[in-house]
Amino acid sequence: MKTREYAASYLKQTKQIAESVSEEAIVKAVEILRGVKAAGGRLFILGVGGSAANASHAVNDFRKIGGIETYAPTDNVSELTARTNDEGWETTFSEWLKTSHIGSRDAVMVFSVGGGSETTSLNIVNALKLAQEKGAKIIGIVSRNGGYTRQAADACILIPVVDEKRITPHAEGWQGVVWHLIVNALDCEEA
């Protein structure tokens, strides 16, 4: 495939995704975060790989633009790697959230291609189980079938699969589109 054809195909798929993403799920996520902000709660953003990089960027936006106290456990590589070494990858996020005393005023936002399952991204799955136990709200921006995140979420924005070969770039690219939309919608009037 030539570069021009590839670019045209990618952009066409981007338009398909834009027409398919649930506005209702996005509005619900904004409402949840307004509640977190009003209650003086915190937002914890979880992601692995490229989604971890997105989480770091989103922390800045939710703090600076959104005015919500926000953190990503992957921003502290020393703690992340110490927990991985000493406790195992599967509990890196849940143990971090325990130390942060996650509670019912808080929210967890997951950036993930697959959303986690019993065989992949167990650190996300275990963190969500803890968040549910503690009464924290859960927001997901995920793709594929949404995985465990979709099951656990109070608001789940599902990025549709329009091409099996481009699941990851579309999912991770759309995480940025959606979180920027959400953080800038916090100041809009109610739905």
- Domain boundaries defined on the chain: 3-185
Mean pLDDT of 183-188: 94
Average pLDDT of the residues in 120-148: 98
User: What pLDDT does 21 receive?
Assistant: 98
Whether the pLDDT of residue 165 is over 70: the answer is: yes
pLDDT, averaged across the chain? 97
The percentage of the chain sitting over the pLDDT mark of 90, rounded to a whole number, equals 97
Tell me which residue of 93, 102, 95, 97 sits closest to 74, measured CA to CA. Answer: 93
Q: Look at residue 28 in the predicted model and tell me its pLDDT.
A: 98
Structure tokens at 172: 């991770």
pLDDT, mean of residues 2-20: 97
Does the pLDDT at position 191 exceed 80?
A: no
Of the candidates 103, 113, 101, 100, the one whose C-alpha atom is nearest the C-alpha of residue 158 is 113
**What's the mean pLDDT in 127-138?**
98
Reported as a single tens digit per residue, the pLDDT across 43-74 is 999 999 999 999 999 999 999 999 999 999 99
Q: Which amino acid belongs to residue 150?
A: R
Higher pLDDT, residue 99 or 188: 99
pLDDT of residue 190 exceeding 70, the answer is: yes
- Look at strands 69-71 and 137-142 and give their pairing: unpaired
Nearest one of 66, 22, 3 to 178, comparing CA atoms: 22
119/146 Cα distance (integer angstroms): 14
Helix, strand, coil shares of the chain, percent, nearest 5, are 60, 15, 25
pLDDT at 93 over 90: yes
pLDDT of residue 125: 98
For 146-164, write each residue's pLDDT tens digit: 999 999 999 999 999 999 9
Whether the predicted pLDDT of 189 surpasses 90? no
CATH for the 3-185 domain, from 3.40.50.150, 3.40.50.10490, 3.20.20.70, 3.90.470.20: 3.40.50.10490
Residues 100-128, mean pLDDT to the nearest whole number: 97
**Residue found by looking up tokens 């959400």 in the block:** 182
- Is residue 65 a contact partner of residue 33, using CB atoms and an 8 Å limit? no
